């Protein structure tokens, strides 16, 4: 018998549909101009396929929609809170649950409770909101991720790993007393959705315990990380996703969670911890900023949908299809020779703007310009993850450097089909073919916090076309400023 490969299909059928709209090219050009060349400022009605983020953009299941109806909207002691607590205890294993309206609210409460001014937080690469809350509480973040994470072409299977020597050096340098916790993210977003291995986490946990330092787990994409461990870490192929998630969580002391990702809901998050005293303080603080500790800024129905989503997301068929779809898009681009971050991430495909638009220097925001160009080409919305997202050092005011200059194409869970991925790939390939005509941007408005969300740009003024004749922009040195006209 021949081992003929059968085609793959999404492991669900569609019960409700939402129409997509598509502007023509002049319409997209006008929309882009109005949005200040920042894809965050586009109206979603002007977007065809929306790969801006996988945050809160999930399609809920019929079971989750049904769960909304049984939400208990009691102000205090809601039944839905207890359902959510059971689900968090069962899947993630932490003893105490403090619901919050989304992940950054959990980060805020945790940072305010654990950080003193002058503290140091080591972590496996920063995340925008996470680092901001650490800084607002008076701490400085120190990146202790392995060097491979900063090399888009390095195919290390666990680029989210912590470099234990870097971590030890931070402890030696500042002293354990200045480190309230180590911040460990699973499936590290900012380097392209890269997992860490359980072997690495075990070593981090052992080191942290010896030093008496807690580990705070950013569990936002823990399930995606667990799936990569299941696939690639020796000894885990036979373990269920739920078992692996539990093993990860058991090596850490507490977690912050944005349920808008793994947990398959549109809004929600939580703080969960094993420490009784910390949990008591967090429950006290949540009433100040979010709402009573049995709803924390969520409606009862939201908590019901989260409880169902938490159990659904560890289903192997689900997570296999979710990450598989990202890989499908990644492979289409790889085969076409498009420079992407490797290995392909768990939640999105990241274009390497440094190679894609190699003729643009960092000061003209190459990834921001590329994201704008992709929208203009097809109405596909992506986002910048580079120098704009990195922001500025609050003390010196200088731009944080960013080794990685990426455009993130994040895939919402269960929303688009394989055919949509084909359309996306075609547009990116088209843009790659005319990449020499992509011009840099200048920032015309810069907000104080998390500037990537609201910054505005304009294309650099027309100057004589740079001497780019090769079809391969790689290695080109022309430093931007050139406003090229795309032939029509
Ligand atoms: C989205 C996200 C957060 C913040 O959560 P929100 O729900 O957007 O507030 C924190 N950490 C990571 C890794 C995230 O992806």
Summarize pLDDT for 107-138 with one digit per residue, the tens.
Answer: 999 999 999 999 999 999 999 999 999 999 99
Q: Does residue 127 carry a catalytic annotation?
A: yes
CATH number at residue 444: 3.90.1150.10
Indicate if 305 and 161 belong to the same structural domain.
yes
Largest CA distance in the chain: 68
Summarised one tens digit per residue, pLDDT across range 419-428 is: 999 999 999 9
Summarised one tens digit per residue, pLDDT across range 306-316 is: 999 999 999 99
Q: Whose C-alpha lies nearest to ligand 1, atom 10?
A: 103
Q: Where are the alpha helices (DSSP H) in 336-452?
A: 353-356, 366-378, 387-390, 418-433
Query: Which is the catalytic residue, given 50, 143, 163, 218?
Result: 218
Lowest pLDDT segment from 238-252, 311-325, 338-352, 440-454? 440-454
Task: Determine which helix (DSSP H) or strand (DSSP E) holds 488, and give its type and residue range.
Answer: none
Q: Does residue 48 carry a catalytic annotation?
A: no
Q: Does residue 474 have a pLDDT over 50? A: no
Counting ligand 1 atoms within 8 A of each CB, the residue from 123, 124, 129 with the most, and so the one to mutate, is: 129
> What contacts 239, CB < 8 A, 6 or more positions away?
230, 247
**Structural domain includes residue 258:** yes
Indicate if 241 and 175 belong to the same structural domain.
yes
Confidence of residue 265 (pLDDT cuts 50, 70, 90): very high
| CA–CA gap between residue 191 and residue 267 (Å, rounded) | 24
Q: Does residue 462 have a pLDDT over 70? A: no
139, 181 contact by CB (below 8 A): no
Pocket-forming residues, ligand 1, beta carbon under 6 Å: 55, 102-104, 127, 129-130, 185, 189, 218, 220, 258, 260-261, 269
Q: Does residue 468 have a pLDDT over 70? A: no
The residue ranking higher by pLDDT, 325 or 476, is 325
Closest by Cα among 190, 456, 479, 209 to 341: 190
Q: Does residue 141 carry a catalytic annotation?
A: no
Domain that holds residue 379: 25-47+323-477
Query: Which is the catalytic residue, given 25, 63, 75, 202?
Result: 75
Summarised one tens digit per residue, pLDDT across range 158-215 is: 999 999 999 999 999 999 999 999 999 999 998 889 999 999 999 999 999 999 999 9
**What pLDDT does residue 464 have?**
36
Indicate if 307 and 341 belong to the same structural domain.
no
Query: Which is the catalytic residue, given 100, 128, 186, 382?
Result: 128
**What pLDDT does residue 172 have?**
98
**What pLDDT does residue 2 have?**
58
**Structural domain includes residue 11:** no
**What pLDDT does residue 4 have?**
81
Counting ligand 1 atoms within 8 A of each CB, the residue from 54, 104, 105 with the most, and so the one to mutate, is: 104
CATH number at residue 268: 3.40.640.10
Which of 312, 343, 364 terminates a domain? The answer is: 312
**Structural domain includes residue 1:** no
Which of 312, 334, 352 terminates a domain? The answer is: 312
Counting ligand 1 atoms within 8 A of each CB, the residue from 53, 58, 258, 452 with the most, and so the one to mutate, is: 258
Summarised one tens digit per residue, pLDDT across range 219-243 is: 999 999 999 999 999 999 999 999 9
Summarised one tens digit per residue, pLDDT across range 18-48 is: 999 899 999 999 999 999 999 999 999 999 9
Mean pLDDT for the chain? 93
Give the Å distance between the CA of 269 and the centre of ligand 1.
9
**What pLDDT does residue 6 have?**
78
Flag whether the pTM goes above 0.75: yes
Give the Å distance between the CA of 123 and the centre of ligand 1.
15
pLDDT above 70 covers what percent of the chain? 94
**Structural domain includes residue 93:** yes
Q: Does residue 53 carry a catalytic annotation?
A: no
Q: Does residue 487 have a pLDDT over 70? A: no
Closest by Cα among 330, 304, 284, 257 to 92: 257
Indicate if 275 and 370 belong to the same structural domain.
no
Number of domains forming the structure of the chain: 2
Bridge partners, residue 100, by sequence:
269
Which of 312, 337, 367 terminates a domain? The answer is: 312
Give the Å distance between the CA of 436 and the centre of ligand 1.
35
Indicate if 265 and 372 belong to the same structural domain.
no
**Structural domain includes residue 438:** yes
Indicate if 401 and 253 belong to the same structural domain.
no
Query: Which is the catalytic residue, given 385, 408, 413, 451?
Result: 385
Indicate if 437 and 308 belong to the same structural domain.
no
> What contacts 111, CB < 8 A, 6 or more positions away?
133, 134, 136, 137, 139
Tell how strand 140-143 and strand 120-123 pair up. Answer: parallel
pLDDT above 90 covers what percent of the chain? 86
**What pLDDT does residue 300 have?**
98
Confidence of residue 155 (pLDDT cuts 50, 70, 90): very high
Indicate if 180 and 134 belong to the same structural domain.
yes
**Residue 434 has what DSSP assignment?**
T
Indicate if 155 and 303 belong to the same structural domain.
yes
Indicate if 206 and 255 belong to the same structural domain.
yes
**Structural domain includes residue 57:** no
Indicate if 110 and 38 belong to the same structural domain.
no
Q: Does residue 449 carry a catalytic annotation?
A: no
Closest by Cα among 254, 259, 224, 217 to 102: 259
From start to end of 266-421, where are the E strands? Answer: 269-273, 348-352, 380-381, 383-385, 406-410
**Structural domain includes residue 486:** no
**What pLDDT does residue 488 have?**
40
Confidence of residue 473 (pLDDT cuts 50, 70, 90): very low
Q: Does residue 471 carry a catalytic annotation?
A: no
**Structural domain includes residue 7:** no
294 burial (CB, 10 Å; 0-12 / 13-18 / 19+) is: buried
Counting ligand 1 atoms within 8 A of each CB, the residue from 189, 216, 449 with the most, and so the one to mutate, is: 189
| CA–CA gap between residue 141 and residue 329 (Å, rounded) | 33
Query: Which is the catalytic residue, given 126, 141, 295, 452?
Result: 452
Summarised one tens digit per residue, pLDDT across range 366-401 is: 999 999 999 999 999 999 999 898 888 888 888 887
Indicate if 466 and 434 belong to the same structural domain.
yes
Residue owning tokens 């936002």: 220
Q: Does residue 452 carry a catalytic annotation?
A: yes
**What pLDDT does residue 3 have?**
67
């Amino acid at each position: 018998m021949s081992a003929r490969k059968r085609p793959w299909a999404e492991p669900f059928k569609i019960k409700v549909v939402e129409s997509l709209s598509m502007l023509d090219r002049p319409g997209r050009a006008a929309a882009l101009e109005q949005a200040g060349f920042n894809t965050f400022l586009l109206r979603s009605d002007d977007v065809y396929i929306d790969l801006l983020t996988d945050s809160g953009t999930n399609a809920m299941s019929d079971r989750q929609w049904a769960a909304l109806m049984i939400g208990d909207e009691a102000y205090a002691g809601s039944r839905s809170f207890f359902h959510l607590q059971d689900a968090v205890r069962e899947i993630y294993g932490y003893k105490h649950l403090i619901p919050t309206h989304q992940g950054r609210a959990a980060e805020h409460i945790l940072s305010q409770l654990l950080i003193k001014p002058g503290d140091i937080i080591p972590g496996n690469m920063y995340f925008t909101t996470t680092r901001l809350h650490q800084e607002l509480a008076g701490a400085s973040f120190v990146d202790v991720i392995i060097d491979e994470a900063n090399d888009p072409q390095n195919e290390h299977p666990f680029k989210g790993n912590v470099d234990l020597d870097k971590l030890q050096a931070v402890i030696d340098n500042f002293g354990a007393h200045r480190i309230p916790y180590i911040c460990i993210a699973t499936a590290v977003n900012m380097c392209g959705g890269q997992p860490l291995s359980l072997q690495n986490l075990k070593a981090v946990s052992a080191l942290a315990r010896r030093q008496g330092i807690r580990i705070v787990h950013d569990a936002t994409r823990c399930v995606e990380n667990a799936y990569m461990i299941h696939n690639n870490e020796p000894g885990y192929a036979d373990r269920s996703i739920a078992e692996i998630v539990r093993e990860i969580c058991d090596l850490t002391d507490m977690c912050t969670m944005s349920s808008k990702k793994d947990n398959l809901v549109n809004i929600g998050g939580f703080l969960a911890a094993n420490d009784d005293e910390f949990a008591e303080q967090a429950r006290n603080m949540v009433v100040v900023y979010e709402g009573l500790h049995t709803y924390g800024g969520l409606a009862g129905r939201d908590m019901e949908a989260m409880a169902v989503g938490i159990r659904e997301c560890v289903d192997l068929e689900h997570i296999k299809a979710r990450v598989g779809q990202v890989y499908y898009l990644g492979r289409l681009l790889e085969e076409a020779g498009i420079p992407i971050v490797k290995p392909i991430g768990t939640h999105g495909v990241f274009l390497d703007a440094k190679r894609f638009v190699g003729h643009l220097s960092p000061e003209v925001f190459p990834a921001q310009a590329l994201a704008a160009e992709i929208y203009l080409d097809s109405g596909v919305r992506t986002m910048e993850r580079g120098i704009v997202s990195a922001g500025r050092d609050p003390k010196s005011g200088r731009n944080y450097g960013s080794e990685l200059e990426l455009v993130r194409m994040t895939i919402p869970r269960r929303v688009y089909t394989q055919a949509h991925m084909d359309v996306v790939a075609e547009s990116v390939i088209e843009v790659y073919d005319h990449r020499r005509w992509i011009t840099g941007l200048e920032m015309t408005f810069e907000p104080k916090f998390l500037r990537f969300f609201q910054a505005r740009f304009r294309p650099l003024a027309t100057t004589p076309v740079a001497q780019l004749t090769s079809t391969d922009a790689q290695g080109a040195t022309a430093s931007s400023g050139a406003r090229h006209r795309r032939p029509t």
